[in-house]
Amino acid sequence: MSAAVAPLKPGVSMPRLSLLGRDLTASIVVFLVAMPLCMGIAVASGVAPEKGLITGIVGGLIVGFIAGSPLQVSGPAAGLAVIVFELIRDQGLSALGPILVAAGLIQVIAGVFRLGGWFKAISPAVVHGMLAGIGVLIVVGQFHVLFDAKPLPSGLQNLAAMPGRMFGLDMTNVAAAEWAFVVGLVTIVAMIGWEKLRPASLRLVPGALVGVVAGTLLAVALSLDVTRVAVPASIVAAISAPDAGFWSRFLSPGVLTSALAIAFIASAETLLSAAAVDKMHDGVRTDYNKELRAQGIGNLLCGFAGALPMTGVIVRSSANVQAGAATRLSTILHGAWILGFVALLPWLLRAIPMAALGAILVVTGFRLVNLVHVRHLARDHGLLPPVIWAATLITVVAVDLLTGVLVGIGLSLLELVPHLHRLRLKVFEEGEGEAHRVSFTGAATFVSIPKLSDTLDRVPTGKVVTLDLTNVPAVDHSSAELLRDWLGRRRAAGDQVEVTGSPRSLA
């Protein structure tokens, strides 16, 4: 378990003051992580920084109360920055509100009809390829912000213009672009250097905060003429209430198509993040359908407020767990700290250089390209999953996010071809005394993930469990990831689990 202080297991009691202290400390850590990311993601999305702060506030104060994953933190996510940028470019900022309202309704309906488990069936190769493509687009777009310039309309254009930005620097005639680049470099060096060298006693101080503070102090100390963050004097002024044409936009096919895309991608990212958070602690597991409903309500509110879409976010969520959060109070309080800071100290935010926020996003985007995962896929599951990953990444960068995901899902169907006559996974369960046996028959593929997941969740704790995979001729990488994670979690909790007929991918 990666958390420094594990959340409580069900049934374990602790004095309320101790719980409050843990949640209070964790909420401050998450607040410090969230502030620069909320603003930076808003800038990367092509909107004002305060739009991201509003989403962070709603994600804490509202979604935090009703979430199905108590320790997950919701807010604006880098994974949606690219698609929001494209939506605003093609349909205008006024279309974003109706799109989010429709996307929120779709998520609520999906949660009501208990469709949350199906998002776990999305191939990990597709998800990681999507995130890698998003990471590339963020890096090549925010690279231009390092020079006090705006990103170009497409990823390929941003990529092609990168050499010109670098060769256009003239350090013998230092102007705004050169100083902005220096601020960005200082931010990146401070962020990465702190994360590698920070003392154990200060491990909870986030690198992103250190980077932004370093870049801001440099700009203030030297009175640099670089572009700064622009936020209104009142956070209420940042709320864009629906205008007269708000409801008429729902008749546009483009709005409904975009809402489906936002709902699908936001839900997938949220539930995958929730699954990752569950691996970090031994406390209450995620209720996926409740989490979907909560995210839908959050996006509904963000749509009516004219803010950014939200998802569950792994960076903030992992910081929450590692800081020792015990209950959902930590998530709620982090939203309150954002609200209080923006309401009382907007002048401080206006001192932050845009290049510093761009630098934070460059590092964030770079980290989304996870080559270690690709090597793991190739080693354990053969050539096809890395091909799916690469095709998804390339299509996301060259075309758009939704097309990339659809291409990845389409290629994932190739994994079903050898098993078309045995796609139905049958489950047989029997329990006697202290023993519980679960036998499977048929191929374990991504289409059987919901049934496989529900079956594993039903397996009782405190018994000797046998999983019989003798009659399972094939386990694809989606099912293998699910089984491996479940086995690791149960064995770490002290349960005795034996697997018979285990394929190589689970060894």
Is 491 within 8 Å of 497 (Cβ atoms)? yes
Confidence at residue 213, expressed as pLDDT on a 0 to 100 scale: 94
pLDDT digits 0-9 by tens, 381-437: 788 899 999 999 999 888 888 788 889 989 988 877 777 777 788 999 988 778 899
For the residues 182-194, what does the mean pLDDT come to?
Answer: 96
For the residues 49-68, what does the mean pLDDT come to?
Answer: 95
* Whether pLDDT at 507 is above 70: no
Confidence at residue 9, expressed as pLDDT on a 0 to 100 scale: 47
Query: Which tokens go with 315?
Result: 């960076």
Rounded to two decimals, what is the model's pTM?
Answer: 0.82
Structure confidence at residue 108 as a pLDDT band (50, 70, 90): very high
Confidence at residue 3, expressed as pLDDT on a 0 to 100 scale: 42
In whole angstroms, what is the distance from residue 94 CA to residue 115 CA? 30
- Closest of 321, 370, 293 to residue 132, by C-alpha: 370
**pLDDT, mean over the chain:** 87
- Closest of 163, 12, 138, 160 to residue 79, by C-alpha: 138
Q: Which residue ranges form the domains of the chain, and what is each CATH number?
A: 26-355 (no CATH), 369-419 (no CATH), 423-506 (3.30.750.24)
* Whether pLDDT at 10 is above 60: no
Confidence at residue 19, expressed as pLDDT on a 0 to 100 scale: 67
Confidence at residue 219, expressed as pLDDT on a 0 to 100 scale: 95
Weakest mean pLDDT among 99-103, 389-393, 461-465, 500-504 = 500-504
Confidence at residue 254, expressed as pLDDT on a 0 to 100 scale: 87
pLDDT digits 0-9 by tens, 457-491: 888 888 899 999 999 888 888 888 888 888 887 88
pLDDT digits 0-9 by tens, 12-28: 344 455 667 788 888 99
Structure confidence at residue 65 as a pLDDT band (50, 70, 90): very high
Give the Cβ contact number of residue 251 at 10 Å: 9
Structure confidence at residue 104 as a pLDDT band (50, 70, 90): very high
Query: Which tokens go with 175?
Result: 């102007």
Weakest mean pLDDT among 209-213, 316-320, 393-397 = 316-320
In whole angstroms, what is the distance from residue 143 CA to residue 140 CA? 5
pLDDT digits 0-9 by tens, 338-383: 999 999 888 999 999 999 999 998 998 898 888 888 888 888 778 8
* Whether pLDDT at 177 is above 50: yes
The more confidently predicted of residues 30 and 400 is: 30
Non-local CB neighbours of 10 within 8 Å, separated by 6+ positions: 283, 284
* Whether pLDDT at 504 is above 90: no
Confidence at residue 258, expressed as pLDDT on a 0 to 100 scale: 92
Is 78 within 8 Å of 358 (Cβ atoms)? no
